[in-house]
Amino acid sequence: MAADALILGSPIYFGNLSADAIAFLERLLFAPYTYSQDNLSKFTGHIASALICTMNVSEALMQQMDYPTLMKRYTQYMAGMLRGPSEWLAITDTLQFSDYGKYMSSIFDPEHKARMHAEKFPEDLEKAKELGAWLATRG
């Protein structure tokens, strides 16, 4: 609660944040929680926050599966309890396996995955850096 900013990173597991990430948010956000009508959070500070989710689906499939709504829901909780702005960033088409040949994974095209990792992932890292810069100024 004394932090200037919070960045939570989580893989998407079965269409949700990881169990660890959810447990962390439950503990963190419930601590200042009240059931008062006029004031849901006892926390008086302001923490800008961000959620970064990695996932192996493509950008198009992410939209189709409505993951943005999921991430938005969690950032709304973060914004409400931490009383600061909250943004999310999705990192799609991750390289889940270093060697796809070792696993039963025929739904993936290893060449496409390698290309995404070489070309898209560096751009994703830039977006994460921009998000960090935004947090540093808003925080």
Ligand X SMILES: Cc1cc2nc3c(=O)[nH]c(=O)nc-3n(C[C@H](O)[C@H](O)[C@H](O)COP(=O)(O)O)c2cc1C
d(CA 127, CA 46): 23
Contact stretch for ligand X (CB under 6 A) within 6-14, 37-45, 76-84, 100-108:
6-14
Cα-flanking dihedrals φ and ψ of residue 121, to 5°?
Answer: -60, -40
For the record, the structure tokens of 45 come out as 């500070």
CB of 20 to ligand X, least distance (A): 11
Q: Which of residues 84-103 bind ligand X (CB under 6 A)?
A: 94, 96
41 binds ligand X (CB under 6 A): no
d(CA 55, CA 13): 8
Among 56, 74, 81, 113, binds ligand X (CB under 6 A): 56
d(CA 108, CA 83): 41
13 binds ligand X (CB under 6 A): yes
75 binds ligand X (CB under 6 A): no
116 binds ligand X (CB under 6 A): no
Sign of the four-CA dihedral 6, 20, 117, 61: negative
Could you list the residues that contact ligand X (CB under 6 A)? 11-15, 54-57, 94, 96
